[in-house]
Amino acid sequence: MKDMKKKIFAGVIFGALISATLTLVLVCLLLGITSTNALDLGRFFVALRFIESNYVQNVERRQLIDGAISGMVNSLGDPHSIYLAPQLYSQLRAETTGAFGGIGVYMGFKNGGVQVMSVIPDGPGQRAGLQAGDEILAVDGQPVEEISPAEVALKIRGQIGTPVELLIHREGAEDKTYNLTRENIHVQTVAGTMLDDRLAYVKISNFSENTGDEFKTKLGELERAGMKGFILDLRQNPGGVITGCIEIAQQLVPAGTIASVIKRDGSKEVYTSNLAAAKFPIVVLIDHNSASASELLSGALQDTKAALVVGETSYGKGSVQTLIPMAHDDGLKLTIAKYYTPSGRCIDGVGIEPDVEVKSPAVVHPMYDLNLDAQNDPQLAKAEELLTRQVDAGKILFTDNFWKADS
């Protein structure tokens, strides 16, 4: 009888071990853990336990896990991917409800730095004297190199009415501290005017949910005023909502592909246009601060021969991010795909090269001041010249490199 009980007990134990082993194997398979990387996981847990047991002060495991996740994301070397600890994740969610504000600037992240790409008229930044091209060195006394670039933007945003201090480096000047107060920023994204009885000028400051409708309305006004062609100014445009860009492209780009979004596994999402043909000659202005959606639009117009591009090589931000909520009110903002132009160009880290290269003026024309001065803006002057030649010809000219003759 005792032998029977021992056999039954041994069988139960053996069965439990087999079950546990199979469960562990299944979990490893589901997590993609192989014998090769199981050793790396082991290293992680050994380090975790050793720090927990031997570090000179008590440390919470969640703090260590948060740090490990943040370290993983930082190791990617991608300024647009970031681990959002609970406080930052909560702030990001609060911003979507309108409870948070900003200082009225658009920022770009490149080569480990944070740069002001454009300044919204009459916002806190402009009133304080910030300019496009300013480099942000510190936020509230914290050097930007101590945190990820994307986290810098989250720290600059905050509750409306609260202060934020920026240390700014400007080329040719001493570093200066700016004290600003956050405000609720509302901005019209499209402005335009007739340059003469045939040529028009349209500037897009950034792409929002309303930009497509704003552009359609403005284009209709200019067409009724006699527009035969227009200059599309995307200088200092940092991008924004992709749908706004696509809605505009569908009004300008001939039928076919506007842009493609391709993920790591090769899956593709293609944005297309059904426009029968380009209606107007267009010259697009870009500079080093034209980024993301503005690069998509200028790239689509360039690839489909619907516009000439004048200015300087653009910023080179062609990646797509997604926000993933995690278990402890934290989150992960991760780059998951890249944008491609109709011809298959990936603009990430490369940018759009202009058809005609012209250096930027000292100061790019403000968004809402439409008293344009081509004499002090060589890019605008070249755009007017090229557009006039097309309007005079009565057609869109993109054969035999006609515009290269005197560029």
Query: Catalytic: which of 273, 292, 294, 390?
Result: 292
- Tell me the range of 89-98, 194-203, 373-382 where mean pLDDT is highest: 194-203
Which residue in the block uniquely carries the two structure tokens 């000179």? 56
pLDDT of 97 strictly over 50:
no
Are both 138 and 258 inside the same structural domain?
no
CA atoms of 94 and 151, how far apart (whole Å) = 15
Are both 139 and 215 inside the same structural domain?
no
pLDDT band (50, 70, 90) for residue 6: low
CA atoms of 328 and 171, how far apart (whole Å) = 43
Q: What percent of the chain has pLDDT over 70?
A: 82
Are both 124 and 222 inside the same structural domain?
no
Are both 203 and 351 inside the same structural domain?
yes
Average pLDDT, integer, range 15-42:
62
CA atoms of 335 and 323, how far apart (whole Å) = 9
Are both 137 and 279 inside the same structural domain?
no
Residue 98 is predicted with a pLDDT of 43
Are both 166 and 261 inside the same structural domain?
no
Q: How many CB atoms lie within 10 A of CB 129?
A: 12
Active site residue 317: yes
- The answer to the question of residue 322 being in a domain is yes
Are both 370 and 266 inside the same structural domain?
yes
Look over the chain and give the mean of its residue pLDDT values, rounded to a whole number: 84
Query: Catalytic: which of 203, 218, 228, 317?
Result: 317
- The answer to the question of residue 380 being in a domain is yes
Q: What is the CATH number of the domain that holds 367?
A: 3.90.226.10
Are both 353 and 288 inside the same structural domain?
yes
Work out how many domains the chain is built from and give that number: 2
Cβ-contact 241, 211 below 8 angstroms: yes
Are both 277 and 383 inside the same structural domain?
yes
Phi-psi region of 21 (alpha: psi -120 to 50; beta: other; left: phi over 0): alpha
Are both 153 and 208 inside the same structural domain?
no
Which region among 33-37, 181-185, 288-292 has the lowest average model confidence (pLDDT)? 33-37
CA angle in degrees (0–180, nearest 5) for 175-181-186: 110
- The answer to the question of residue 378 being in a domain is yes
Q: What is the CATH number of the domain that holds 171?
A: 2.30.42.10
Q: Report the run of H or E that residue 71 belongs to, with start and end.
A: helix 61-74
- The answer to the question of residue 234 being in a domain is yes
**How many helices, marked H, and strands, marked E, lie in the chain?**
10, 19
pLDDT band (50, 70, 90) for residue 4: low
Are both 213 and 252 inside the same structural domain?
yes
Residue 362 is predicted with a pLDDT of 66
pLDDT band (50, 70, 90) for residue 157: confident
User: Residue 110: beta bridge partners?
Assistant: 113
Residue 3 is predicted with a pLDDT of 62
Query: Catalytic: which of 126, 142, 321, 407?
Result: 321
- The answer to the question of residue 92 being in a domain is no
Q: Of 136, 155, 181, at which residue does a domain stop?
A: 181
- The answer to the question of residue 344 being in a domain is yes
Are both 204 and 146 inside the same structural domain?
no
CA atoms of 81 and 72, how far apart (whole Å) = 10
pLDDT of 79 strictly over 90:
no
Residue 361 is predicted with a pLDDT of 79
pLDDT tens, 208-235? 888 999 999 999 999 999 999 999 999 9
- The answer to the question of residue 18 being in a domain is no
Which has more pLDDT, 363 or 405? 363
pLDDT tens, 176-201? 999 999 998 777 889 999 999 999 99
Q: How many CB atoms lie within 10 A of CB 224?
A: 8
pLDDT band (50, 70, 90) for residue 405: very low
- The answer to the question of residue 53 being in a domain is no
Q: Of 132, 147, 181, at which residue does a domain stop?
A: 181
Cβ-contact 218, 192 below 8 angstroms: yes
Which region among 157-161, 286-290, 330-334 has the lowest average model confidence (pLDDT)? 157-161
Which has more pLDDT, 395 or 125? 125
Q: Of 181, 202, 221, at which residue does a domain stop?
A: 181
pLDDT tens, 202-212? 999 888 888 99
- Domain around 351: 190-394
- What does the chain come to in residues? 407
